[in-house]
Amino acid sequence: MSSPSDTTADQGLPAWQFFLLCGMLGATAVVIVATGQSLANIIVLSLTIVSASFVGLGAYRMLSPLTAPSIAGAPTVAGGRTRAAIEREKTLVLRAIKELEFDHAMKKMSQADFEDMSGRLRRRAIGLMQQLDANTGYREQIERELATLVTAQARDTQAPKTSRPEDVTCPSCATHNDADARFCKQCGTSLHA
C-alpha cells in the first residue's frame, strides 16, 4: 500500500512549477542568445518570456477543468465556505436545467442541442450532489448533538421535579417559576402581589 507522500511524488511537478521552470529556461536562453544586446533589451526580453509562461499557466488552469473526467480531485467539503459555494453552484445548475427545459418546450432549440446541454448539466448537478453527500461530517455532528439532547431530556424527565430554593411557587396554580419572575409562566398571575 502506498502512502499519501508516495502518490504526490509520482505526479511530477505541479503545473505552476512547470510553467515557471519553462519561463526561467526561456529567459536563460534569451540571455545566452542575446549577447551583444543592451542590458535593458535583455531584461525586457527575459521578463516577456516569464510573463508568457504565466499566461500559459493561466490558460492551463482555465482549460484543465474542462478536460477533467470527473470531480475526483475536487476539494473535500470541510469548511462552510466551500460547502456554501458548492450549494450555490448546484442551485445555479438546477436553475439552468429548468430554463433549458423551458426553452426546449417553447421550441427555441433543437432536440440534439437540448439533449447535449441537458446531459452535461445533469452530470454536473449529479456530481455536485454526490460531492455534497460525500461529506458526512455535519451529519455525524448533528446526530451526536441530537443523541446528547435526547439523553439529557430523558434524564430530566426521569428525575423527580423538586423546587429549588430560588424558585417561586405560584399561589394559584402551584407552578414553579424562576426567582426573578414577576408573573407565573403557567397562568399569568402576579407573583409579587
Q: How far apart are CA 15 and CA 19, in angstroms?
A: 6
pLDDT of residue 8: 44
Coil, strand or helix at 171:
coil
pLDDT of residue 154: 80
Instruction: Examine the pLDDT at 193 and tell me if it is beyond 90.
Output: no
Residues in the chain: 193
Task: For cell 527575459, name the residue.
Answer: 46
Handedness of CA 32, 34, 40, 45 (dihedral sign): negative
Nearby residues of 171 by Cβ (< 8 Å), 6 or more positions away: 189, 191
Residues 57-67 have pLDDT tens digits of 888 888 887 77
Least confident of 73-82, 114-123, 154-163, 179-188: 73-82
The C-alpha cell that represents 72 in the structure block: 475526483
Q: 96-102: which pairs have CB atoms within 8 A and are 24 or more residues apart?
A: 96/121, 97/121, 97/122, 97/125
Q: Which amino acid is at 184?
A: C
Domain residue ranges of the chain, discontinuous segments joined by +: 14-67
| Residue 42 banded pLDDT, cuts 50, 70, 90 | confident
Instruction: Examine the pLDDT at 72 and tell me if it is beyond 80.
Output: no
Q: How far apart are CA 15 and CA 57, in angstroms?
A: 7
Alpha helices in the chain (DSSP H): 4-10, 15-33, 39-67, 80-105, 111-134, 137-158
Q: How far apart are CA 148 and CA 133, in angstroms?
A: 24
Q: Which residues pair with 177 in a beta bridge?
A: 168
Q: How far apart are CA 121 and CA 115, in angstroms?
A: 10
Share of the chain above pLDDT 70, in %: 79
Q: How far apart are CA 191 and CA 181, in angstroms?
A: 7
